[in-house]
Amino acid sequence: MTFLGEDKDNPPAFMTDKLHEVFIRTLLEAKSCWTIFVISDILGVDWRFNQPGTATDDNWSQRLDRPLSEYHDDLVYGPKLCLLREEILKTQRVPE
């Protein structure tokens, strides 16, 4: 957690908006050639679409409650999507 500016011995108990911003920014600034997010990371929620190590009908069955385009106008999720877009452009992780 130190790379996010947090105390490694006392990590945060939950994801704050500020921590979420730093998380997104830090991952996009990494020197890796790929940065992959699941939608729950982008929106900063704890939704679970898959339970690793299991093979049940419930895996990958959860869906967003609306089209992703509608999240852009949401007062909570819209700013998070805008932040992601801004950071993608700033870090030049845009396909040429």
Q: Say what the alpha-carbon torsion angle 61, 62, 68, 73 is, to the nearest 10 degrees.
A: 160
| Range(s) of the domain holding residue 43 | 2-90
Report the pLDDT value the prediction gives residue 96, as an integer from 0 to 100: 61
Instruction: With respect to residue 26, please indicate whether it lies within any of the assigned structural domains.
Output: yes
- What pLDDT sits at residue 85? 93
Give CA 14 to chain center in angstroms. Answer: 14
Q: How many domains does the chain have?
A: 1
- Is 96 a domain residue? no
Task: Report if residue 95 sits inside a domain.
Answer: no
Handedness of CA 16, 21, 24, 29 (dihedral sign): negative
Per-residue CA distances from 21 to 4, 6, 51, 73 (Å): 10, 13, 26, 19
In terms of residues, how long is the chain?
96
What string of DSSP letters covers 44-66? T----S--TT---TTTT----SS
Per-residue pLDDT of the chain (96 residues; tens, 9 = 90+): 566 666 777 777 777 888 889 889 989 999 888 889 989 889 988 888 888 888 888 888 888 899 988 999 999 999 999 999 999 999 988 866
Q: Is residue 22 part of a domain?
A: yes
